[in-house]
Amino acid sequence: MTSTRIRTLPPLAALATALLAGLPLAAHADPVLEWSRIVSETPIGPPPIAGRVVAMASLSVHDALNAIDPRYESYGTIPAAPAGASPDAAVATATRDILVSQVPAQAATVNAKYAAFMATLGPCPAQHPNCIADGVQVGANAAAALIQMRQNDGSSTPDLPYTTAPGIGVYQPTPGVAAPRFEGIQYERPFGINSASQFRADWNAVMDVQSESYTKNYNEVKSVGNALVRGNAPNSAQSDIARFWAGGAYDWHANARIIATGKSMDSWERARLFALVDMGQIDTLISVFDTKYLYRFWRPVTAIRWANDGNPATSSDAAWTPFLGTPPYPDYTCGLPNGAGAGAEVLRRFFGTDAVPFTVTVNAAEVPLPAPFPGPLPAKQITRSFATLTQAANESVDARVYAGIHFRVGCTQAVRQGAKVGRFVYQHWLRPL
């Protein structure tokens, strides 16, 4: 099933339309896809930091295109574009300006890619001799509007001092972590939802360490997430799934691009899709860190190494090691499945079906292993395919348990939490005109 409002024309029809309208001929199959790849290639930071920048870039591209040809609601407010303004130049400039302003360390690389891209544009038709310059101005306007909107948005203090005392069930820094991170993300102003707490996950029985739910979750992750178990089955499906999702499949901007590349969509539709997905991604991160630091529930490695949690159905192991390194923040709810829930929900609603097949290949990093293993698992390219969006989101839950870094319930709740965020964003923003 295709997305809404498909406007893609056959190549000859598109050529004729451009000539008759006096529009600049596109030098690129789709500048939205090209600049999406450049965004993904740009080192920005971990997801809680990168998510904000990627959303700003995608929203500025969406707004720039809709200033040229209004088809969907804009996010910000910018002047209408002059007739004949180049969409290619607008997309490139909007993205470049966001990246350079928000990631100044990458300015030289981004500007070089921008210059190479712009050199391929033109010439402008006689009816619109300033098409490139006009497109540049439209893109600059869109980026400037987003930058202004995000001033003083709370993103400048992602980390806060952590002073919670140790105790049974209480999160503490895990091995290799000097201090917890990203507590301040919950105070960042959301892009689409009303507040960080709007879709806060409810308290769950898994956080009662005497409960049957906790016992079941504890014993599962202790078994399947053990580095010794995974190291003895390095090429098993479980080991691959853990490494695959940690190795890049968590990036739903890239997943959306893979899906959109195989669809009959134009630049406006792809720009809207990426903007909605990326709004959902950053807002679900803001939501998840609100939940994480409200409950401050401990990670499996802390729980399993704890000498006596008072639960007779659990047994501690001071040497237990998770398969993958534990991220530096509390367990409940889980960030990666939260993003999967949001990404899958936006895509599901955009295309009107859960049956959106896609294939992702990642280059998984090497994995250190404890003794008696002689060395790490080597880096590995892993490819996985999904018939539905639900299948992908559910596998992201399994991945964090197989990695040994989350209790299952926190991940299943995260998918639901993320889906609520994605649904709200889709229903309230960037709607067809």
Scan for tokens 């209790």, then name that residue. Answer: 407
| pLDDT computed for residue 28 by the predictor | 60
| DSSP state letter for 9 | P
Scan for tokens 């969509």, then name that residue. Answer: 265
All domains of the chain in start order, with CATH: 23-149 (no CATH), 183-428 (1.10.606.20)
For residue 267, which phi and psi values (nearest 5 degrees)?
-60, -40
Structure confidence at residue 2 as a pLDDT band (50, 70, 90): very low
List, for residues 334-343, the tens digit of each pLDDT value.
999 999 999 9
**Position 1 pLDDT exceeds 50:** no
Structure confidence at residue 27 as a pLDDT band (50, 70, 90): low
Structure confidence at residue 380 as a pLDDT band (50, 70, 90): very high
- Give the ranges where 307-388 is alpha helix by DSSP (H): 335-351
**Position 69 pLDDT exceeds 70:** yes
For residue 179, which phi and psi values (nearest 5 degrees)?
-155, 145
For residue 383 the two structure tokens come to 């490819």
List, for residues 171-207, the tens digit of each pLDDT value.
999 999 999 999 999 999 999 999 999 999 999 999 9
Structure confidence at residue 29 as a pLDDT band (50, 70, 90): confident
**Position 22 pLDDT exceeds 50:** no
Contacts of 255 (CB under 8 A, 6+ apart): 249, 343, 358, 360, 392
Please report the sign of the dihedral spanned by the C-alpha atoms of residue 92, residue 350, residue 356, residue 69.
negative
- Give the ranges where 296-407 is alpha helix by DSSP (H): 300-305, 335-351, 389-402
Rounded Cα distance between 84 and 23, Å, is 5
H or E element, residue 215: helix 212-224
| DSSP state letter for 324 | S
For residue 332 the two structure tokens come to 């409940």
- Residue pair 124/77 in contact by the 8 Å Cβ criterion: no
Scan for tokens 């000859």, then name that residue. Answer: 12
For residue 362 the two structure tokens come to 């990642």
